[in-house]
Amino acid sequence: MFGELGHPADRTETDISQAAIVLAEKPKFAKDGKLYGVFDILNTPNGKILKTLCDYGSTLGISSRGQGEVLGDDSVDPDTYDCECFDIVLVPAVESARLTFTEGLSKGKTMKQ
């Protein structure tokens, strides 16, 4: 699953030419109930921008992108939600969805959330 730097305003599908990250392993729920994933930063133009921001110490967020039926309370019905990808964003909808940047041993740069 590839992700972009920022959510695009006009589409839900991933534009591979805008890819910055790739989901390196299946996300897992931890005992605290949060979903954690590992992402590799790609050696693409957007990945290089992301790497520079991480090296600078930026506290970036991660946010899912997808579509589904919106319920009366403005939440999305989980039974109809189709997750397209995860994108790197400045302000995630879930404030605690922030990244930890670490150097990976095998594939390069890795981010965990």
- Note down pLDDT in tens along the chain; length 113 residues: 999 999 999 998 999 999 999 999 998 999 998 888 999 999 999 999 999 999 999 999 999 999 999 999 988 999 999 999 999 999 998 888 998 888 765 554 445 55
Question: What is the reported pLDDT for 74?
Answer: 87
Question: What is the reported pLDDT for 106?
Answer: 52
Contact 20, 5 (CB under 8 A): yes
Question: What is the reported pLDDT for 53?
Answer: 95
pTM: 0.81
